Structure 1
Amino acid sequence: MRIAISGTHRAGKSTLIEELSDLLPTYVTVDEPYHQMEEEGYAFAETPSVEDFEAQLARSIDNLEEGTRDVLFDRCPVDFIGYLLAHEDSDAFDLDAWLPRVRGALQKLDLIVLVGIERPDRVSLSASDDKALRLAVDEKLKDLLLEDAHGFEVEVLEVEGSPRARAKQVLAHLSEAD
């Protein structure tokens, strides 16, 4: 299966991928576009710009084009749409222009696992974390993925609890899908 782990920053996505990698040893993991691009020398602004998020969105779409089965993606295109819609310069982002490419890419996924912010929040934040942006992106992602107003038509599983509990929810869902 091709599974993307989605969520705002500091929600537990990477931790969930680590848990799932241990439980699904035949799966390949694909790092999030930010880290891929940073390793390649892309110079992100200190506070990411609309252009930075659009570049990550394009990379995320490209990542899904690869035909590998049994893969865990750290983030999917919807993550970057969430960031772009929550960005202070969101009016510079043309969602309608991106939707056909995003829909096409998402059809290459079998499942998106949404890791949302829980109440109470399980993740400790540092003083440098942008709490308002984190909450805004979490809200956008829940709207985009759970309400599916843009017709992404991909299966979404929202998980909660400890990293192990989240991983078990994914495994249970995969078992039901077989």
Structure 2
Amino acid sequence: MVRIAISGTHSQGKSTFVRDFLNKYPHYIFENEPYRAIMHQHEIFFGDQQKIEHIELQLNHCLSRVKKYKAGDCVIFDRPPSDYIPYSDYSAVNAQSDINKAYIDSLFPRITPILAHLDLIVFVPMCEDYPMCLEDDGHRPIDDFYRIWVDEAFKKLYREDLDRLLPKENAPRVVEITGPRELRVALLKQAIQQAILS
């Protein structure tokens, strides 16, 4: 009875994590990563080519899906709305983009209230003990600098900026999970139980 979102930089095994969880708990509804959900209707670029329009397409889809669910629903999202803040940070700093600090600041009041529709955000950080290889599937960026930079931005968001990010009421719990596949699912089960009890 928990609304979950798996968060973090790309090529960290998040989608595999979600599949492993669904194999064990098939009664959960699955909400695909926004990019994958809309990629056949829209051309979306990442990294140095990313513009506001590319963030907006994914974010608006994500916001609309998250706010559809109510307390007590069993759903797992491959990415919450908050993921588009670190990716915007990257383009603002590293790319010739229309994404800038003012745009990033404008994301918080749009994203924060919608996070109240989640019970649990699971952040999957990069970890030296459990490295993930970049995978070229024809869609995901394969620039390791990009992946590492965005991971650091995620770590700042979830470790330093939660007061700014989370709503004052009905805020989701934020947990970090790393480890081999079986352990990730077991740790998520524990986090769900804690979220239910809190």
Is TM more than 0.5 here? yes
| CA distance 1:125–1:156, change in 2 (3 Å) | same
Q: Write the distance in 2 (CA, Å) between the matches of 1:123 and 1:17.
A: 16
How many angstroms does 1:49 deviate by? 2.7
Normalised by the size of structure 2, how large is the TM-score? 0.81
Secondary structure in structure 1 of the residue aligned to 2:154: helix
Cα contact 2:130–2:180 (8 A) shared by 1: no
Q: How many residues align?
A: 177
| CA distance 1:49–1:155, change in 2 (3 Å) | same
Cα contact 1:146–1:156 (8 A) shared by 2: no
Query: Partner residue of 2:116?
Result: 107
Query: Partner residue of 2:20?
Result: 19
Which of 148, 170, 179 is the equivalent residue of 1:161? 179
Secondary structure in structure 2 of the residue aligned to 1:107: helix
Which of 129, 135, 139 is the equivalent residue of 2:152? 139
Which stretch shows the higher mean deviation, 151-160 or 8-17? 151-160
| CA distance 1:100–1:86, change in 2 (3 Å) | same
Q: Write the distance in 2 (CA, Å) between the matches of 1:149 and 1:118.
A: 24
Normalised by the size of structure 1, how large is the TM-score? 0.90
Matched, 1:29 2:30: yes
Q: Write the distance in 2 (CA, Å) between the matches of 1:24 and 1:133.
A: 33
Which of 70, 74, 87 is the equivalent residue of 1:70? 74
Q: Write the distance in 2 (CA, Å) between the matches of 1:49 and 1:16.
A: 29
Q: Write the distance in 2 (CA, Å) between the matches of 1:161 and 1:139.
A: 18
How many angstroms does 1:149 deviate by? 4.5
How many angstroms does 1:96 deviate by? 2.4
Q: Write the distance in 2 (CA, Å) between the matches of 1:37 and 1:126.
A: 21
Query: Partner residue of 2:194?
Result: 176
Cα contact 1:50–1:93 (8 A) shared by 2: no
Give % identity: 30
Secondary structure in structure 2 of the residue aligned to 1:169: helix
How many angstroms does 1:157 deviate by? 0.9
* AA at the equivalent of 2:145: A
RMSD over aligned Cα atoms:
2.0
How many angstroms does 1:122 deviate by? 2.2
Cα contact 1:7–1:141 (8 A) shared by 2: yes
Q: Write the distance in 1 (CA, Å) between the matches of 2:125 and 2:90.
A: 16
Query: Partner residue of 1:150?
Result: 164
